[in-house]
Each structure stands twice: as C-alpha cells, then as structure tokens.
Structure 1
Amino acid sequence: MTSPEPKTHSEGVYASLRAELLGGAFLPGSKLRLAGLGTRYGVSLSVVREAMTRLAGEGLVRALPQRGFCVTPLSIEDLLDLTRARVLIETAVLRESISQGGLEWESAVIAAHHTLQGTPYTTREGHLGGAWSEAHHAFHRALLTGAKSPRLESIATELRDCSLLYQHWSIEIAGDVDRDVAAEHRHIADLAVARDAEGAVQALTEHIERTTAALLAYAESQTGQQRAAGIPA
C-alpha cells in the first residue's frame, strides 16, 4: 500500500504555485497542465490537484469541467464590478472608522502605515514582494477597524482578497510600475488620521481605481494587438 505524501509536499506545491500565479508566471486564462506541474515539482497528481483546489477557492485559478484548471481569466466585466463593489463598501466603512474610531484606531493606522512604508514594494527581480503584500493588507484592514463592525470589515476584506490577483497583474503583466504607491498610502493615512472623511474617501477611491485603469489599458492593448494580427477579439 502506497503511503500518502507528506503534508509538507502539498503545502510546498501550493505556496510555489501561488507565488508563480501572483508573480505573473502564467498569463490570464492560460491552461494549467497538472501532469507537467507534477513532474516539475516531483509530486503526484493528487498533490497538484489539492493545491489547485485551494487556489481555486482563493479565486486565483478556475476549475474547468472535465478539463482541469486554468488561470483565472482577466474579465473586464468582473474587474469593473469588483472595483465598484470595493469602492462602495470600503469607502462607506472608512467613513464609519473616521467618525467612530478613537486614539487606538489612529495608532493602529499609523503603525500599519509605518510598517508598510518600511517594507520594499518589489523584489530585486521586480516582482511585487510577498512581505509588502502582507503589510499592504494589514494597512487597509487597519483603516477600517475603527468602524467597529466585524461584518462590514469582513465584507470589505473579502472583496479586497478577490482583487489580489488583479493587484498583482497590474504590476506583473500591465507594468504599472511608475505610480507612487507609497505616496498614495501616505496620503490616505494622513487624511484618515486628520479626520478628513471626504478627502480620505476620495484618496481611497482613486487608489483602488488606479489599479483598474492600468488593467483596462493592458486589456485594450492586447485587443489592439489581436486586431492587428487578424485574430478575432
């Protein structure tokens, strides 16, 4: 009887695939061949499939009936819908935070921003840094904790998690590397702590929509290249 592979194999494959997906190693919508991945990582198909199932749960890949898995496609319709939902929910919760958050909330925002500011944005290879992504998530979450509404915070966090792949694609695929992300976050934090609700909401909205704009420009360029090559869009 064949003994099950160590759990560390499954975790390792999952972590490696996740890093590759977020690092732009696979183009949106591309097919992921389980057999090839199993050979590359030296594990069984069941281990690769388990990792894919977890990644599908995070929205990074999509299961294809009877055909395995593919990288989540770049859907303009989904991107616009997600962006609208994030702006509506996150700005509403931010208003509540600014209105109700006390000194403890202000301190949490300042501390989270300090950590984010001190964490490198990209790696030496030009990829979005994993530590930065964690600090970024913590900063945006801290902004909303003053609302004292776990349900609203949970909804906002879930929507932000859904946008993770799009955020990475804006750097890895769309090449939106010229924006001053540090200045954007500093502006949001300063306005929030200063209790400037209108200014903070506007800054957060522009921050979210900047990523969307970069991906829309990328999608348009891809469509233009397809047309030039005579490929139906």
Structure 2
Amino acid sequence: MAKRTDSETLSKHIRDALRRDILGGRWSPGEKLQLTALSEHYQTSSTVIREALTRLVGDRLVQLKPNRGFFVPPISLAELEDITELRCVNEEFGITLAIQRGDLNWESELIAVHHTLERTPRRRAEDPSQHTQEWNNAHQAFHAKLMEACGVPVLIDLTCTLSDIAQLYGRWAGVATREAKRDIEQEHRDILAAVLKRDAPAAAKLLRRHYETTMDAVRKAGEVGLEKAVGTVPAGA
C-alpha cells in the first residue's frame, strides 16, 4: 500500500508540475511535448510522464494525436468565443444555485479568498503584459469559491476545467489585450457585493460581463493579435 501511495504522490506531483508549466507558457500552443525531454526535465520515467500527460488530456490542457504524440493545444479565436459562452452559461447557473444554497461559512470563506486576490500583485514586474502565477491562482480560487456552494460536483468540475483553458488562453492573449481599459479589481468587488446581497440576477450578469469584457478585448485584437502574442515568447522560455 505504501508503494502505491508513493507512486500516486509522484504521479500527482508530476501532473501538477506539467499543468503549472503548460499554463505558465513554457511551451507554445501547438508545440509537441517530447517524452524523453520531459523525463529528463522532471527527472522521472517516461511512464510517469505519459500517465500525467494522459490525465491532462482529460483536462483539455494537452492534446493527444494518434501516432504522433502529445501536444499543447492550439488556440483559436472561434474556440475561445465558444469557451467564453459556455463559461458564462455554466457560471450564471452555478452562482444562482450557490446564492440559494450557500451558508454563512461560505460567505466568510468567499470574503477571505477575495481578500487574498486583492492583496496579490497582478502584473509581473519583468513583463507587465502578463499576470503573475500567484494572481492567477488567487483568481481561480475566487471564482471556484463562488461556485462551491452550488452543490453540483459536475458543474464545479466543469468550472475548473473551463477556468484552466481560459487561463491557458490568457497566457497568450495577455499581450494582445494589454491596452484594454478596465478595472478588473472593481469587477471582482462588484461580483462579491452582489453575492453577499444574495442578488443572484445581478451576480450572474456581472460574471457574464466579467468574462465577455476579456473576450471583447481579444476579439478586437483578432486572430493576428493572438498569433503575435504567441510569437513574443519563445518555446521553452
């Protein structure tokens, strides 16, 4: 049993490391993930790497092409539009249920994760067009906590999956959207205020606007903007 536990711990550690590096832009969209190189980098066997990548295929952070191997998913404006709409519909429903079912403890935890988000630096000092990983984590935690009280595991899982995909896009769209005029901190404050007032329609509307504002900025930059964004960071950076 101990050996299996150790194996499971290693597998999760490698999977988490790969997920973090993919979301962080270590490899460009569409780039092949070489098993040998990954085994050397993470100092583990190709079997462990393959298992971790297979799990990430299920999370849509890795693409498996038959007879070709594993790849970082490509990005496209059309897919991002679909993901954004799905995210809006999913979270509009989720926040409505969460407000109906959430208790005082959930409210307190939501305030706490929002406080962490407010206090976490958003932009990288060395590259202001990109978010810090700490802020990305805090941002995901805030949105995950919003959905937590809905009590529907499938909806919560979908929220997390869509959040990861959106973060992957955000890593490359950051350069294309850096001129967008918005106060994202105030957007989060407004969402929190609506939830604490138990105003489900307002919270749902604000969540949709929150995501669509980002989509509008990317849409204005266009597919070329995404391509330029990808081109600004060399593979393996």
Same fold (TM over 0.5): yes
Distance in 2, Cα, partners of 1:125 & 1:10 = 32
Aligned partner of 1:165 in structure 2 is 165
Q: Cα distance 1:55–1:122, how it changes in 2: closer, same or farther (>3 A)?
A: farther
Aligned partner of 2:194 in structure 1 is 191
Aligned partner of 2:233 in structure 1 is none
Q: Deviations over 1:37-74 (max 9, x none)?
A: 33444443223222211222221111110111111121
Q: Which runs of 4+ in 1 moved over 6 A?
A: none
Equivalent pair of 2:110/2:142 in contact (CA under 8 Å): yes
- SS of structure 2 residue aligned to 1:163: helix
Aligned: 1:83 with 2:84: yes
**Superposition pairs of residues 86-105 of structure 1, within 5 angstroms:** 86-99=87-100, 101-105=102-106
Aligned partner of 1:135 in structure 2 is 138
**Superposition pairs of residues 208-227 of structure 1, within 5 angstroms:** 208-217=211-220, 219-221=222-224
Q: In the TM superposition, what is the alpha-carbon distance from 1:121 to its structure 2 partner?
A: 2.6
**Superposition pairs of residues 88-127 of structure 1, within 5 angstroms:** 88-99=89-100, 101-126=102-127
Rg larger for: 1
Q: In the TM superposition, what is the alpha-carbon distance from 1:22 to its structure 2 partner?
A: 0.7
Which one-letter code corresponds to 2:203 in the other structure? A
Corresponding pairs, count = 218
Q: Report the aligned-residue RMSD.
A: 3.2
Equivalent pair of 1:83/1:212 in contact (CA under 8 Å): yes
Which one-letter code corresponds to 1:166 in the other structure? A
- 1:205 equivalent among 187, 208, 216: 208
Structure 2 residues not aligned, in runs of 5+: 1-5, 229-237
Equivalent pair of 1:35/1:45 in contact (CA under 8 Å): yes
Q: Deviations over 1:133-189 (max 9, x none)?
A: 34323322332345xx422x6414423423313224324444244543322211211
Distance in 2, Cα, partners of 1:134 & 1:119 = 10
Which one has more relative contact order, counting CA pairs under 8 Å at least 6 apart? Answer: 2
Q: Give TM-score, length-normalised by structure 2.
A: 0.74
Which one-letter code corresponds to 1:210 in the other structure? T
Q: In the TM superposition, what is the alpha-carbon distance from 1:31 to its structure 2 partner?
A: 1.7
Aligned partner of 1:38 in structure 2 is 39
Structure 1 residues not aligned, in runs of 5+: 1-5, 226-233
Q: Give TM-score, length-normalised by structure 1.
A: 0.75
How many percent identity over aligned positions?
35
